[in-house]
Every structure is written in C-alpha cells, then in structure tokens.
Amino acid sequence: MGKGRRKTMHLSKMYSLRRSGFEDDHSQIGGPGFSRVVYCNEMSGSEGITQNYADNYVRLTKYTPFTFLPKSLFEQFRRVANFYFLVTGILAFTALAPYSAVSAVIPLIIVVGATMVKEGIEDWQRQQQDHEVNNRKVKVHRGGGVFESSQWKKLRVGDVVKVEKDEFFPADLLLISSSYDDAICYVETMNLDGETNLKLKQSLDVTSLINEDSKFNSFKATVRCEDPNASLYTFVGTMQFQEQRHALSPQQLLLRDSKLRNTDYIYGVVIFTGHDTKVIQNSTDPPSKRSKIEKRTDSIIYFLFFVLFLMAFVGSVYFGITTRDDLDGDRMKRWYLGPDRSEIFFDPKRAPMAAIYHFLTAVMLYSYLIPISLYVSIEVVKVLQTLFINNDVDMYYEEADKPAHARTSNLTEELGQIDTILSDKTGTLTCNSMEFIKCSVAGTAYGRHVTEVERAMAKRTGSPLLMNGDGNDDNSHLSVKGYNFEDERITNRRWVHEPHSDVIQKFFRLLAICHTAIPDVDEDTRNVTYEAESPDEAAFVIAARELGFEFYKRTQTSVSFMEFDPKSMKNVERSYELLNILEFNSARKRMSVIVRDEEGKLLLLCKGADSVMFERLSKEGRQFEENTREHVNEYAQAGLRTLILAYRELSDEEYKEFNEKFTEAKNSVSAERDDMMSEVTDEIEKDLILLGATAVEDKLQKGVPECIDKLAQAGIKIWVLTGDKMETIRLEAINIGFACSLLRQGMKQIVITLESPEIVAAEKAGDKSVIAKVSENSVKKQISAGKAQLDASRSEAHALIIDGKSLVYALNDDTKNAFLELAVGCASVICCRSSPKQKALVTRLVKEGTGKTTLAIGDGANDVGMLQEADIGIGISGVEGMQAVMSSDIAIAQFRFLERLLLVHGHWSYRRISSMICYFFYKNIVFGTTVFLYEGYAAFSGQPAYNDWYLSLYNVFFTSFPVIALGVFDQDVSARFCLKFPLLYQEGVQNTLFGWRRIFSWMLNGLCSGVIIFFLCTRALDPESYDKNGKTAGMEIVGATMYTCVVWVVNCQMALAVSYFTLIQHVFIWGGIVLWYLFLLAYGSLSVSISTSAYKVFVETLAPAPTYWLVTLFVVIAALIPYFCFKAIKMRFFPGYHGMVQWIRHEGHTEDPDYCNMVRQRSIRATTVGFTARSIARDNNLYNLERQ
C-alpha cells in the first residue's frame, strides 16, 4: 500500500462537488468528435495501439537525425542569396565563368556549413530538454497488482499509473482513487493556467475503493470519451465498469503537467498521451520567427539583384552592339579579340548569342555586389550577442540560481524595437503569493506596513511615509511567508487590552475556521504548514496563527485550533464541529461555514466581497459599517485585496430546515442544481453581524513598478492579460494596475464588462442565442462609448479594462478593429479572465493590427500561445513549471530583468545589427562598383578587374572580421546611460537606424567611394610610367592597387563608424589590412599556375614603386572625406537621440539633473504610464490649479 491512507477525510460530504448526470453532454458519446475508446488495464496493450493512439513521446525539436541534412539544406537555399550563389557556383564549372570554379564554390561551402552547424547545435539543445521530460519516471501497473517504474515516453493509452505527492502527471489521466477514503485529491495547475491555488478533484464513487496496488489485479473498465482537443476545462465521457455505465466530467480528469499536491498518491488511467494531451493541444508548433530587420534585409537583397541584372543587361546590350560592329569589311576594330576566328563569344556574325552569353558571365561577375557572408556573419554576431545576454550578471537571479537564457539567437535585434508588451500577471508581475498586511476590526484600522503602491509613490515624492513602515523593496526581513503584519496594539496577545477585544477574538477565530485549508504538522518540530486552495486562504490562516489562533487539525466533522484565553491567560484548545461548507464562486462572491462551538451554539461564519456582504448585514450588525467602508476604500486605493468578515447565530430549527434543503439541492442532477443551491444559501446568509475586513497584498515581484516606469519612459505600451477569476475582475485589475504603475490617480478608466441587468436577465433565461446577441450589442456599445470618451479628451490618459466574456465579442471580425483602435489610444490595457486562446488572439490582433513589434511575457503553460504568437516570447523561469520557458525565445527569472534586456541589450543589439548590415551593403557596393566600372572600361568584355582569389576572399576574410567586431562590441553609449535615458530606445521603435533613408544613404556612400577609387586609380596609373624603368601599369598592377585602396577605404570607414573601440576591433580593422598584404606576399610566392596574375606582383612591382603608396594614401583620404564631413555636420547640428546623450557626456552634463531631465522627458508623453509620469501629471495639475 505504500503510504498510509488518510481515513478521516470525507470532504465530499461537506463540499458541494458536482456529480455529472447524463443530462449534460453525454448523449454525444460515440458520435463525431466523441469516438475515443480506452480499454483500461489491458496488459497486452494491444487495444490502444491498434487504434493508432499517439504514444507519450513529446518532441519539440525542429529536426531529427534523418531530416537534419535535407531540411537544413532546404532552409539554407530557401534564402534567395544562397540559392543565387548555388546557381553561380554551378555555372562556374562552364566556360562562361570569369573566374575558376573552386574560388566560387569554397566560400559558399564555408558560409552554408557554418550556418548548418549553428542550427544543429541549437536543435541539439532543444533535444536535450525533450530527453529530460520524456525520461522522467512514473509507476505503471504491470499485472498481478505490481507497479514498476517506467519512463513517461513508454506510457500507452489504458495504462494504470500511480502518481505520488509533488509529482507531475505524465499524461491526461482519469482519476480512479486516491490516498483519501473518498478519493479526492488536490492538484496544482500553475503550469496550465498560471494559478498557484489548488484545485479539488474527485473520482467516481464506484472506483474509490480500488485504492491499493493489489486491487488493480482484476480491475477492468472501458472508457468512451471525447477525442483529443484543446479545451482545458471540459471533458465528456462515460466509464463502463461492473456492467454499469457512469458519467465522467472534468472533476475526474487530471491534466498532464499539473502537479499532485497535499495528497500522498493517486491511481489513474491514461486517457490521452503525448501530443493528444490537452496541454500539448493548446500549444502550437514553434513558429519560424524572423525579425523585421532580417525581412527588410531580404528586400534589400532583392533590390540589389534588380540592380545586378540591370547592370548585366545594360552591359550585355552594349557588348552585343560593339561585337556586331567589330568587323568593318576587312578591318577589325578590336583585333586583339580575334573576332574573325571567334566561336560565339566575340563573333560579330552571332552578336545576339554573344550578348546572351555575356549576360550570364556578367551575372556571375557582378555577384560580388551581393554579400555572400552577410547571413552567416549576422548569425555569428547574434550568437555572440546571446552569450552576452546569458552571461549578464545584472540579469542573474541569485535566489533561484537562474541566469537569463536566450533560447534562440534569431531575434536579438527585435528586443530593441518593442512597441507593445503583453504580460501575464500571476507569477509574472507577482510572486504567486499573498501577504496579510492590514485589517479593520470593530471599526479600527490595524497594520503599519506600506504597500507597493504607497512605497512607489513615496519614493518618487520623497514622502516620509516610508519612515512609518518598512522601506525595503524585498521581503528578506520577513520570517513568515504570507504574513507582513505589524501593529503593537494586537500582536503578542496585546489585543486583549483593546476596547473591542471580544470582536477581535471573533474576527481571528473566523479566519482560523472559515476556510478549506489542510494543515500539515511536522512530527519533529510540531510546526504547522498549510495547503490551501488559494493564496488568500493561506495568508488568512497564517495570519490567524501568528496572532495566536493556530489552526492545526481538520477532520471530516471538526476543526481544531489553539487560541489564547483572556480569562485563564493561557493557550487553550478549541474544537468546533464542522457541519457545512458553502463554497466560494463567481456568482456568490463569498464563502461560509456552519459550525457548532463547544457551548453548543450554531454559528454561520462568512467572508466575502464588500459588494455582496454589506447588503447582507442585519440592522443590529452595522455598528462598525461606516468606518469599515472607509477603511476598505483606503485599502483598495493602496492596491490591496479586501474581504468583509461577518457572522450570525442560528437556531436548531433554522439550521435543520436549511440542511434538508441544502442536501436536496446538492444531490440534484438537474440543470437547475446551481440555482437551487444558490437560493438555499441566500436564505441563510443574511442578517449578519459585521466584524471587520481583511486586506492582503498580491505581492509584486521586486522592481516591477520601477521596471514598468522605465519601459513607459522608453515609449513602450504595456498590456496585462490576466486569467484571474471573474469575481475579482474590477477590483483586482485596478489594484494590480495601481501597484504596477499601470494606472494612476486622475487616469480615466474605460471598463467593458458584461454585468448589466439586461445581460444577467438573459443569462437566467438560458437562451444562448439571446445571450450572445445581447452581449455582442452591449460590447459594441461600450466600445463606441469608450472611443467617444477617448476622442473627447485626447490629451488625458486613459486605461482600458475588459473582462474575458466581453473579450469574446470584442475579438469578433466585425468588432476587433474598433476594439484595437480604442485599446491603442489608451495608455494601458488590462484584460481579465483571459483564456489561453484569447491571450494568443489579442497578441495576434495587436501584432497584425498595428504592424509594430510585440513582446509577450508569461510563466505558465496558459501563456504558451501568447508567447509563440508574439514577435518575441519571454518566459519567466519561475519556481514551478518550464512549459512557458520551453516555448519562449528568451527566458529570464524576474520581470524586472526585462528593463535591462530591452533598454540595454535590445538597444545595443538593434543598433549593432542595423549598422552592421548597412556597412555590409556599403562595402559590397564599393567593391561591386569598381568591378562594374572596370568591365565597362574594358568594353564590357567580361574581364574582371581582380584576380580570382581576390574576388572570392574579399567578403570572407579581408572585410568580414571588422564588421563582426562592430556587430558584437560597438556601443553608442554605456549601459548606465541606456538606463538613465530610456529615450534612446525610441531609435529602435521608430526604426531610425534601419529605415530606407539610412539604407540608401549608406549605398550612396558606397557608390561614391567606389567611383572615387576607380577613377583616381585608373587616372593616376594609366597614362604615366609606373616605375623608374618607364613601364606602364598593366591590368594586374591596376587591379592590385585598386583592391588595396578598396581594403583600406572600407576598413577605415569602419573605424570612422565605430563609437566604442576595443582591442578586438583594432585587431580586426587594422589586421584586415595587414592580412591583405600578407596574402599578397604568400599568394604571389606560389607558382604562376596557381597565383596567375598575382605572381610576385607585390614584391617585384607594387612595393618598390612610390606611386603605389602615394596613390593608396590620396585615394583613401579622398574616398573618406564625404562621409567624414556628413557625419560631422549631422553630429553638430542634427544629432539623433544617441547624439544628444553623447553630447551630454562630452560636455560634462551627466550629473546636471535639470539638463538630464530636459532630455529624458522628451520620451514622456501625456498618456504614458508609470510613477514618473504619474508624478509629472500630478505636478502639472498642481501648476494648473495655481494658475487658476
């Protein structure tokens, strides 16, 4: 049996757990979409396999060992540039080639091979993660009541498994029994929906007694259910067991990747495996994401192809006409070409064919206009940029030992162009924990500590508020998780001296009793910990314990706790008989328990939202109402979640009548069951006596408000998409908005919700078509009203808050554009109770509707669709669950690291990649221009200006390393200035560094440099004697001299463009030039059959000639003067964002607060969120009031 069973817990007798009847959707079983048949505990395993059900192996990799080579080659040659070089490489083996085949093919092999190696390494890392998950162990029934450990990947549909406490479910399981007698279990679904509160599941009664290993020897059943689908919250099926058919519901389904908590073990039957499981069905294949810069680079490549073919066409037409006119009778104009004995290439009688052949030759010759090493250089730079991200100690979370991890290197520059962030809340902005921080009892407010909202505002304004509480941003000073309460009036048993000590006693007794938490007492230390269904409940019982009311035991019929007795001045044990639990749900907005105390009194203890609790108070129970309401409002403004606590005494007759009605309603299987239960509970939850209110803080992660403030200053819009329950929509959205600085006082709120009386009435009527129509019309009206409000006050900041039900209709095709227009016009947007699919749809709407770069950030499996849909997905590597991380592009441990990731690494990466690509095209246009002009100089005869290996190695060796150094190491400003002036980030959002204007300006610069190099070299060398012997410069001398000037110019141009020099950049820039001279020496020393026109050209001809050195010097200076003048004028009179910051640093204004604020505030618009903007808005309001 393993662990001992908990035999005292029949919670199903207290909870109103629903038992599904066939009146639900079970009539569909066997029809389309409901055809799955599972034979449980079949040892042969043949049934599930013969029906071709998926195995439990999950693969998230892009390649397999068999598909890597063909798929990777396809990926490489899908790029038009690589395909073009493949074609020219093939043509190089023909007589048309102006260079040798080897010199054309080797660079292509190097470039494609390097990229394939990089792809292989990244996919191998993903395969390692798959291997870890697929090889986890679980106990599987192997017959004879024996359970053996087996790997997850070997599970089959129908297998019976045993999952123990704190283990993940390996597949979608049907719950058979558990360690509790009534077969309940607690499940944590944070991997699925991001929530840490525990969900209660319960098996069918008929299988609850199959609760030991040996009892599965004879267990046989047949399950017929729905086919695999993505719905996490529905399940329809039946179980044929002991010749009877039983209805199944989501209450019996345990989903893969959720975790068993507070239950020693469960037995379950595998229903869905592998890619059929609901969590995998909710995820999509990892999309092939490409950055906007890469897409624009493709467009530039296409443009250069157009230019290349145009040049080849013009040259071929000219060549054809000149060839046709070569023979003038018996006289040959170009006698040296031998047109009278030529075969096609220069045959005047076949001039059209000669032109066509020349076109093919020119297409190969001008290929150097296209940078063959561009893509592989970008890949290398991006990989190195990801290493900087991974090794940034400022993004390392020491507490969890988790650094940042870039899982793909394709999108680093996109980090510098984010326009909108779409964030999950639970576990992303918050710590997944609640802290009891304040309370109001008998009209008196207790609790000294300040909240995140109060702390953020106090820091900005310099308020002394921090002196009244803890001014720390972390919780390292807390000795008890979930408890952040301090007030000397009631701590340490001093509450007995308060004026209303009896009310205080009842208040904390209620907290110790009115809940569904399960205590876990350590046998050695006797310390009590709690497993609760929600973080709120855990915070309440912990607070009660810390204040002297320690709940320590729960049985089927009782709740026991220790409390301090004011009369005896000792701790005494209290035990209350637990009669009923009236559960919390979205309609009731409250929870109650009915207990009998030790004196025999019947008590109803109730806690709930203020919107439903105040109206249920009796006339005699409103003594503290006014003060309590005031305190609740103050708590809400401070970003706290509040609940009202009240109680009443019941008579025996009243309770007996209620219990009969409640039991009847609970056991009903009709469609009106919920309404019947609600009606019964409404009758007894009235005439309450108010005790007070609690206030808990949904604790934000460290640095969240500051991070959001900086991102807002950078001009980034922030949307929060939360899956929180409907009952907390308005209050929770607004509280978290204020706490995160997404909302501020004075910001107008546009709330879209479906809570109008008309819709409530339609829902009670139950006509789905009417509900849909009324709801859709209501959402359209609210969107129109919101747009009107927005248009009427464009200068003011607005916040949009919308719930999940409204979002369904807002995302309809005929409504979504209006909704997007409204949302984009608001400073912040908060979407509540969003399903995983809705999160993905909202992300797609923003991405496609605005055309701007989007970033999604989340920590749970429910965020996977959103992460994959966004241009960049950021996974929070939280304490539990890696589903979001495994589907993300970059993983970080805390939301606050997003500030450095975007404002520093994003800005640097965008600037580096943009400058690098522009420089790549510049240097290739310089080189291609000289090749084109020389061929024109040679009458478009297909004669290259340079030796074959000069041509091939230009992009691969002599000019590639400096540009890689630029892409890896260059910094326009330091990390400190990136954070100090978020304004810099707007360069990426506005794409100022990679717009068409800047791209064409670099191309024009390359064209000018190429023209200057060609004409100065040819004019300087052509008519004059080259050396002291009076020899003129031949083609090999002109070519080598011109090539030398090109290498010098493009490398010196790099030196002018670099903002931040490192030793590596010096080595690469000047080393590229030195490498050219060394190559001339080495290559020229080879035999003439190998070196051809380069044979000893440097040693014997170039080096001894002063003309060579003088021409190089003056040509380089002349080619660089235009760019130098342009840059100097622009920097002095028209500086960009980074230029302004560089001037601040240059002129020594970095510590001048007024000067820095003047520059910084250029990024803060009237609608920007964050506490900086909040403070500015408040100051502006005060200024306007003073003027009035």
Residues 1167, 752: Cα–Cα separation, whole Å: 20
Mean pLDDT of 256-282: 89
Mean pLDDT of 464-484: 57
**Active site residue ranges:** 424
For helices 960-969 and 374-390, angle between their N-to-C axes, nearest 10 degrees: 30
Structure tokens at 838: 């809705």
Nearby residues of 357 by Cβ (< 8 Å), 6 or more positions away: 96, 344, 345
Structure tokens at 43: 């040892």
The identity of residue 865, as a single letter, is G
* pLDDT attached to residue 611: 80
In the predicted structure, residue 750 carries a pLDDT above the cut 60 = yes
Could you tell me the end-to-end alpha-carbon distance of the chain, in angstroms, rounded to an integer? Answer: 80
Residues 1067, 574: Cα–Cα separation, whole Å: 79
Buried b (16+ CB within 10 A) or exposed e, 921-953: bbbbbbbbbbbbbbbbbebbbbebbbbbbbbbb
* pLDDT attached to residue 319: 83
* Mean per-residue pLDDT of the chain: 82
Residues 562, 545: Cα–Cα separation, whole Å: 8
Do 1010 and 926 meet the contact criterion of CB atoms below 8 Å apart?
yes
Between 883 and 494, the more confident residue is 494
Q: Beta strands 602-608 and 641-650: pairing type?
A: antiparallel
In the predicted structure, residue 448 carries a pLDDT above the cut 50 = yes
* pLDDT attached to residue 1187: 41
DSSP per position, 775-843: HHHHHHHHHHHHHHHHHHTTTS-EEEEE-HHHHHHHTSTTTHHHHHHHHHTSSEEEE-S--HHHHHHHH
583 three-state secondary structure = coil
Closest CA to 867 of 845, 844, 849, 850: 844
Mean pLDDT of 158-175: 94
Do 644 and 628 meet the contact criterion of CB atoms below 8 Å apart?
yes
Beta bridge partners of 690: 646
766 three-state secondary structure = coil
Residues 450, 466: Cα–Cα separation, whole Å: 7
Residue spans of beta strands (DSSP E) within 85-143: 137-141
Range in 84-98, 156-170, 334-348 the model is least confident about: 334-348
Do 853 and 417 meet the contact criterion of CB atoms below 8 Å apart?
yes
Q: What is the pLDDT of residues 1140-1171, one digit of tens each?
A: 777 676 666 666 566 556 555 554 444 455 54
Between 1 and 397, the more confident residue is 397
φ/ψ of residue 716, rounded to 5? -90, 130
φ/ψ of residue 917, rounded to 5? -70, -45
Range in 300-304, 514-518, 536-540, 734-738 the model is least confident about: 734-738
Range in 82-96, 263-277, 640-654, 994-1008 the model is least confident about: 82-96
The identity of residue 174, as a single letter, is L
* pLDDT attached to residue 1110: 93
Half-sphere exposure (Cβ direction) of 945: Cα atoms closer than 13 Å:
26
Q: What is the pLDDT of residues 914-939, one digit of tens each?
A: 999 999 999 999 999 999 999 888 87
Residue 695 — pLDDT band, cuts 50, 70, 90? very high
Q: Beta strands 717-721 and 418-423: pairing type?
A: parallel
Residue 328 — pLDDT band, cuts 50, 70, 90? low
Closest CA to 865 of 59, 285, 415: 285
Closest CA to 1009 of 964, 1045, 1059: 1045
For helices 1063-1084 and 960-969, angle between their N-to-C axes, nearest 10 degrees: 170
* pLDDT attached to residue 352: 85
Between 572 and 864, the more confident residue is 572
CA 297 to chain centroid, in Å, comes to 25
855 three-state secondary structure = strand
* pLDDT attached to residue 766: 60
* pLDDT attached to residue 48: 44
Q: What is the pLDDT of residues 296-323, one digit of tens each?
A: 988 998 999 999 999 999 988 888 888 7
Structure tokens at 804: 């999940």
The identity of residue 1111, as a single letter, is V
Residues 948, 946: Cα–Cα separation, whole Å: 6
Nearby residues of 946 by Cβ (< 8 Å), 6 or more positions away: 931, 1039, 1040, 1042, 1043
Structure tokens at 154: 């070997």
Nearby residues of 332 by Cβ (< 8 Å), 6 or more positions away: 326, 339, 340
Do 900 and 395 meet the contact criterion of CB atoms below 8 Å apart?
yes
Buried b (16+ CB within 10 A) or exposed e, 260-285: bbbbbbbbbbbbbbbebbbbbbbbee
Per the document, the length of the chain is 1188
Closest CA to 872 of 716, 710, 736, 702: 716
Half-sphere exposure (Cβ direction) of 917: Cα atoms closer than 13 Å:
28
Q: What is the pLDDT of residues 962-984, one digit of tens each?
A: 899 999 999 888 888 888 888 88
Nearby residues of 1183 by Cβ (< 8 Å), 6 or more positions away: none
Q: Kind and range of the H or E element at 38?
A: strand 36-40
Residues 157, 162: Cα–Cα separation, whole Å: 14
Q: Kind and range of the H or E element at 597?
A: none
In the predicted structure, residue 469 carries a pLDDT above the cut 50 = no
DSSP for residue 1031: P
Q: What is the pLDDT of residues 659-693, one digit of tens each?
A: 888 888 876 655 566 778 888 899 999 999 999 99
Mean pLDDT of 823-833: 83
* pLDDT attached to residue 163: 95
Sign of the CA dihedral with 373 first, then 377, 378, and 380 last: positive
Mean pLDDT of 706-731: 72
Q: What is the pLDDT of residues 837-854, one digit of tens each?
A: 888 899 999 999 999 999
Q: What is the pLDDT of residues 484-525, one digit of tens each?
A: 899 999 998 899 999 999 999 999 999 999 998 888 887 778
Mean pLDDT of 724-748: 54
Do 319 and 941 meet the contact criterion of CB atoms below 8 Å apart?
yes
Do 485 and 449 meet the contact criterion of CB atoms below 8 Å apart?
yes
Do 78 and 342 meet the contact criterion of CB atoms below 8 Å apart?
no
Do 690 and 628 meet the contact criterion of CB atoms below 8 Å apart?
yes
Residue 459 — pLDDT band, cuts 50, 70, 90? low
Nearby residues of 759 by Cβ (< 8 Å), 6 or more positions away: 771, 774, 775, 778
Structure tokens at 1154: 């007024």
Q: Above pLDDT 70, what percent of the chain?
A: 81
* pLDDT attached to residue 52: 76
1027 three-state secondary structure = coil
Mean pLDDT of 16-43: 64
Q: Which long-range contacts (CB under 8 A, 24 or more apart) does 744-748 make?
A: 744/797, 744/1169, 744/1171, 744/1173, 744/1174, 744/1177, 745/1174, 745/1178, 746/797, 746/1177, 746/1178, 746/1181, 747/796, 747/797, 747/798, 747/799, 747/827, 747/1169, 748/789, 748/793, 748/796, 748/797, 748/798, 748/799
Do 491 and 498 meet the contact criterion of CB atoms below 8 Å apart?
no
Q: Kind and range of the H or E element at 672?
A: none
Sign of the CA dihedral with 386 first, then 75, 77, and 299 last: negative
Q: What is the pLDDT of residues 403-444, one digit of tens each?
A: 999 888 888 999 999 999 999 877 788 776 788 999 999 999
Q: What is the pLDDT of residues 1076-1117, one digit of tens each?
A: 999 999 998 888 888 888 888 888 888 888 889 999 999 999
* pLDDT attached to residue 764: 62
**Token match 């091939």: residue?**
952
The identity of residue 973, as a single letter, is V
Q: What is the pLDDT of residues 211-257, one digit of tens each?
A: 899 999 889 999 999 899 887 778 888 999 988 888 888 889 999 98
Largest alpha-carbon pair distance within the chain?
Answer: 134
982 three-state secondary structure = helix
Mean pLDDT of 812-841: 86
In the predicted structure, residue 50 carries a pLDDT above the cut 70 = no
Structure tokens at 1045: 């000037």
Closest CA to 869 of 884, 855, 859: 855
Residues 125, 104: Cα–Cα separation, whole Å: 33
Structure tokens at 482: 């979930």
In the predicted structure, residue 1121 carries a pLDDT above the cut 90 = yes
